[in-house]
Amino acid sequence: MALITSRQNPEVKLYTSLLKKKYRDKMGLIPLEGVRLIREALSCGIEFTSVLYSEELLKGLKGRELLQSISIGNPGVKTVYIAKGLLRETADTENPQGILAVVKKPDYNLSQISETEKPLVMVISGLQDPGNLGSMIRTASAACVSGVIVSRGTVDIFNPKTLRGTMGAIFHLPVIVIKDAMSIINYLRHCNIKIVVTDLEAEANCFQGDLTGPTAVVFGSEAFGVSDEFKVEADLRLKIPLLGAAESLNVSVSAGIIIYEAVRQRHFSSF
């Protein structure tokens, strides 16, 4: 296969364009970077449309096997062998691993969240940091959360930094964007799912609230917390007790504490 060195190559230009949200939305495609993230997408049956790879990927057996597996699983995929320097210029990180891919956006729906007997849902509203969002989705997957619902004002779930932060977890559970907060609230009410919000002013702490039934835990923005719509409709408000001098915790840390308290109550309450 001929070595591509030009930025004008159609697949190189496509990948570069997908680093911007407006093109991801327009085309229904997302850019993936790195062996781990791409391997996870492949294992979850995500459809690949093109792959860009350099000599770096071919140096190791695992890299060659990954490329072969993508081709076998996606007969129509376009594989483009590009110069190492061009791949570095095209990638979103400073030290890419020799492979980039374009895949179709996963298609999830709300019914997947309510299928479980006692759903545990993570709702994210107004979060701005893509790294935090990625970490929270990764935590949700690790805790076997039923799904993640993202409200308006939150960074794009397919932001490249978010995708890398999930470490591929975003392909293992439904992550659904519903811009209107009241639509989310109405859905949760319809499914008889209790709405729990995190609130520094709450009287009860996260170790006192009952999280064993169908529950949605709402996490807000780093600067302003949970929006008023969710606070007004909340069935329960919980805080994380802060025993030291810190006034607050990073939102992704808070999510990990509360979600895993729900896991403890549901699966390990006898300990």
21-47 confidence digits (pLDDT tens): 999 999 999 999 999 999 999 999 999
Check residue 19 and give its pLDDT.
Answer: 97
Same structural domain, 55 and 85: yes
Lowest mean pLDDT segment, chosen from 157-161, 180-184, 224-228:
224-228
Same structural domain, 98 and 41: yes
Residues 6+ apart with CB under 8 A from 247: none
If you average pLDDT over residues 7-15, what whole number do you get? 97
Same structural domain, 251 and 117: yes
Rounded to 5 degrees, φ, ψ at 13 are -65, -40
Same structural domain, 116 and 51: no
Please state the domain count of the chain: 2
The pLDDT mean for the chain works out to: 94
Rounded to 5 degrees, φ, ψ at 185 are -60, -45
Same structural domain, 36 and 139: no
User: Alpha carbon 126 to chain centroid distance?
Assistant: 15
Structural contact between residues 29 and 49, judged by C-beta atoms closer than 8 angstroms: yes
Is residue 101 pLDDT above 90, yes or no?
yes
Percent of the chain with pLDDT over 70: 99
1 assigned to some structural domain: no
44 assigned to some structural domain: yes
If you average pLDDT over residues 59-65, what whole number do you get? 91
2 assigned to some structural domain: no
pLDDT band at residue 271 under the 50/70/90 scheme: low
Is residue 269 pLDDT above 80, yes or no?
no
Between 227 and 18, the higher pLDDT residue: 18
Domain hosting 191: range is 110-267
Same structural domain, 166 and 214: yes
Structural contact between residues 238 and 205, judged by C-beta atoms closer than 8 angstroms: yes
Q: How far apart are CA 42 and CA 36, in angstroms?
A: 10
The CATH number given to whatever domain includes residue 33 is: 3.30.1330.30
Between 119 and 243, the higher pLDDT residue: 119
CA dihedral 39→45→50→54, nearest 10 degrees, is 10
Is residue 14 pLDDT above 90, yes or no?
yes
Check residue 270 and give its pLDDT.
Answer: 63
Domain end, chosen from 104, 125, 152, is at 104
pLDDT band at residue 160 under the 50/70/90 scheme: very high
Q: What are the Cα distances from residue 203, in Å, to 226, 252, 270?
A: 16, 22, 25
Percent of the chain with pLDDT over 90: 82
Domain end, chosen from 104, 123, 154, is at 104
Domain end, chosen from 46, 80, 104, is at 104
Does the predicted TM-score (pTM) go above 0.85? yes
